[in-house]
Structure 1
């Protein structure tokens, strides 16, 4: 005789219905799982309802741990760049059409003359001519 299945961790089915899943094949045939299913189902439901909040809290804790692991993995690749007035930076060149591998991808250096918002700057070139529009840190 086989032993009944061990209870699984909290699954979405388990959290919603507060019970283990039973396959259709197991319902039609007599198996150890179906035969060992307790007859006192009402008492088990009351016990499950008492433990429901605890199971939900454990599921929330696991979700938060997963979310923090994903956030840590994402933030490893993310670097905050903070430029100040007077710093020199290069500006990305956006030529029309195809770019060959021998063309310069950056031009500059440009000096930051004014900070507009987080990541947006007014620049001036080496001759002191200011550019007409702001440039974002991503460019």
Structure 2
């Protein structure tokens, strides 16, 4: 999406010409989480830029159509293995990202009678206040500890 936004902002009114190029670049670029292109786990093969097919390169100059069909069928047989390895890599990537995100988090347990603020969520936010609405409300006092990091709160008036 960032690539698409950058390219379209550069071209202003001529975004129609750039759209297909940006989308193709996204399809042919390996993603960090899976180390594969989005095309490969779906179809079992890598996406190819049309100019690579037209120009006779070593990779495509040696392809025989019958052999290509056999290899495509065999790659479809291994697509489940490819998807499984992509899922494993994604799970590992998520853990790595979570670990780096959480390394600066400091766990803080609250005690009874501590004063806290409560986050205002979308369903409890005052719609008339617009974007200047408060993100936090309170103060509240911790009345009791209900469970694992769950607390019963009361207002200062009780």
Question: What interval of TM-score do these two structures reach, taking the shorter chain for normalisation?
Answer: 0.5 to 0.7
SS of 2:48 mapped into structure 1: coil
Unpaired stretches in structure 1, ≥5 consecutive residues:
1-7, 93-111, 124-130, 134-139
Q: Choose 1 or 2 for highest CA Rg.
A: 1
How much has 1:49 moved relative to structure 2? Answer: 1.7
Distance 1:91 1:61, change over 3 A: closer
Cα distance in 2 for partners of 1:67, 1:74 equals 10
SS of 1:114 mapped into structure 2: strand
SS of 2:45 mapped into structure 1: coil
Is it true that 1:114 corresponds to 2:140 in the alignment? Answer: no
Equivalent residue pairs, number = 99
Cα distance in 1 for partners of 2:37, 2:85 equals 11
Cα distance in 1 for partners of 2:42, 2:115 equals 55
How much has 1:43 moved relative to structure 2? Answer: 1.2
Q: State whether residues 143 and 151 of structure 2, in contact with CA within 8 Å, keep that contact through their aligned partners in structure 1.
A: no
Cα distance in 2 for partners of 1:38, 1:32 equals 12
1:11 equivalent in structure 2: 37
1:28 equivalent in structure 2: 54
How much has 1:32 moved relative to structure 2? Answer: 1.5
Give per-residue Cα distances to partners, 1:52-80, cap 9 Å, x unaligned.
11111110000000111111122222233
SS of 2:144 mapped into structure 1: strand
Cα distance in 2 for partners of 1:113, 1:13 equals 52
TM-score, normalised by the number of residues in structure 2? 0.50
- The within-5 A match list for 1:1-139 is 10-39=36-65, 40-85=67-112, 89=114, 114-115=143-144, 118-119=150-151, 121-122=153-154, 131-132=156-157
TM-score, normalised by the number of residues in structure 1? 0.55
SS of 2:143 mapped into structure 1: strand
The RMSD of aligned alpha carbons is 3.0
